[in-house]
Amino acid sequence: MKLIHRITFIDLMSAVAEGVVLFTFVFLLRRLFNITELLVAGGASMNTTLEMVFSMLPSIMLLTMPMAALLATMMVYGRMVQENEFMALRAVGYSPVQLLAPALVLGVLMMGLLGWWGHRIAPKGLRIVREIAADVLRNAATAGIRPSNFSTMGKLIFSASAVENGHMKNLRIFEEREDRIAGVISSPSGYLEYRPDDSSFLFHLQNGRLHQAPSPNRDVVIHFNEMEFSIGIPTLLNKFAKTGPEEQHFSREELDSTAKSYLEAYQIEQSDQGKRAWYLKKGMQMKMEVSRRFSLPAAAFIMAIIGALLGMQSGYGKRSSCYTTTIAVIFLYYLLLNFGRTYVEKGELAPWLGMWIPNYLSMVFAALLLYRFRKI
């Protein structure tokens, strides 16, 4: 029996590796599409690009490893049914639990790995991505400016006739709002300064004018001697480097302290209901992230069991069938996860309940599959 378990477990690990590589590649392509504009605008080098890509992988693998667990167990156990190996093992007296042992071991190992991975590796990787993206963005906003070319920074589009050490002449800044130009700032001279103390860019403009886009009732032109305004790098990163919600970058300690601060502000604020709702939403998002870092490891264990039971009862061993079933099950899982997230953000469900709804339903499904399997 030990030899059978060992061979089955090796097959499972091989299939898990295949699933992780494939699903991670698909998710990575989507992330790369989101940061392409930043990499091109900042003139990122090959080393910088590769460093950013490898730093993204841990957070992506946190999502793809439960998918790989489902795919691997369904593929291996389905193939064993197709080749009549299970019929022979059941004929000589092996119980369903004994047959499930390799899948149980795989699920436990992946649950432990993802628990550590989600709390330590994935957040650190995302913080590195943000740091690299901020460096690329600073380069794009300073050294990347070219005379007579249009550059973008958030919702601003600007152009200058001459640029030297950040100082610009005949500067034009267009503010984009809802797919239209809402205002234009014109200045004969100005410069752009990076402020590391608060991670922002500061525009200094002299002797210019602000022209707001005309509306049916107004057309406003404001002349000024000096104007200053800043744009925060985190705001720009949300546009150019979409690497997931802010809370996914936090350590466990930061999540707990930030959630506490937001919820305390929610209790104190009584006059402004809009601000109060925002405090509640942000606090719940921090708590949801804590629950997510526990629910995804548990999902890997549950998916390993479900995959094995589906494989044994359906006999799906072909890759096409296994991939199709995996995508369908995972789609339903994340649909339920988003359903729970919505109600947690509104304060109608506790995070431990809303973020665990897919796991609870998956456990019921696994129990029904096991009950049915034992009756065969």
Domain count for the chain, please give it: 2
More confident site: 152 or 79: 79
Token pair recorded at residue 60: 């992506």
CA atoms of 216 and 214, how far apart (whole Å): 7
Global pTM reads 0.77
Structural domain boundaries enclosing 45: 2-139+270-375
Do 135 and 150 share a domain, yes or no?
no
CA angle 52, 234, 25 (to 5 degrees): 30
Do 125 and 150 share a domain, yes or no?
no
Mean pLDDT of the chain: 81
Do 182 and 134 share a domain, yes or no?
no
Do 192 and 336 share a domain, yes or no?
no
CA atoms of 260 and 283, how far apart (whole Å): 7
Residue 229 pLDDT:
77
Do 351 and 371 share a domain, yes or no?
yes
Inform me whether the pLDDT recorded for 376 exceeds 70: no
Do 134 and 195 share a domain, yes or no?
no
Domain assignment present for 177: yes
Inform me whether the pLDDT recorded for 179 exceeds 70: no
Token pair recorded at residue 92: 């000589």
Final residue in a domain of this structure, among 215, 235, 255: 235
Do 129 and 13 share a domain, yes or no?
yes
Do 123 and 150 share a domain, yes or no?
no
CA atoms of 273 and 347, how far apart (whole Å): 14
Beta strands in the chain (DSSP E): 151-153, 156-159, 162-164, 167-177, 180-195, 200-212, 221-232
Residue 297 pLDDT:
94
16-55 pLDDT, tens digit per residue, is 999 999 999 988 887 777 677 666 656 667 787 788 888 8
CA atoms of 146 and 164, how far apart (whole Å): 9
Inform me whether the pLDDT recorded for 327 exceeds 80: yes
**Strand pairing class (167-177; 156-159):** antiparallel
Do 166 and 124 share a domain, yes or no?
no
Domain assignment present for 262: no
Domain assignment present for 60: yes
Residue 276: CA count within 13 A, CB half-sphere:
8
Do 124 and 167 share a domain, yes or no?
no
CA angle 32, 64, 80 (to 5 degrees): 135
Domain assignment present for 259: no
356-367 pLDDT, tens digit per residue, is 999 999 999 988
Q: Which residues pair with 304 in a beta bridge?
A: none
Do 92 and 213 share a domain, yes or no?
no
Inform me whether the pLDDT recorded for 219 exceeds 70: no
Do 130 and 158 share a domain, yes or no?
no
Whether the CB-CB separation of 151 and 165 falls below 8 Å is answered with: no
Domain assignment present for 107: yes
Domain assignment present for 227: yes
Domain assignment present for 338: yes
Hey, CA dihedral for 23, 26, 31, 35, is it positive or negative? positive
Residues 6+ apart with CB under 8 A from 362: 299, 302, 303, 306, 333
What does the pLDDT average to over 281-287?
88
Tell me the Cα Rg of the chain: 27
Final residue in a domain of this structure, among 235, 250, 281: 235
Domain assignment present for 53: yes
What does the pLDDT average to over 300-316?
86
Residues 6+ apart with CB under 8 A from 198: 230, 232
Residue 196 pLDDT:
65
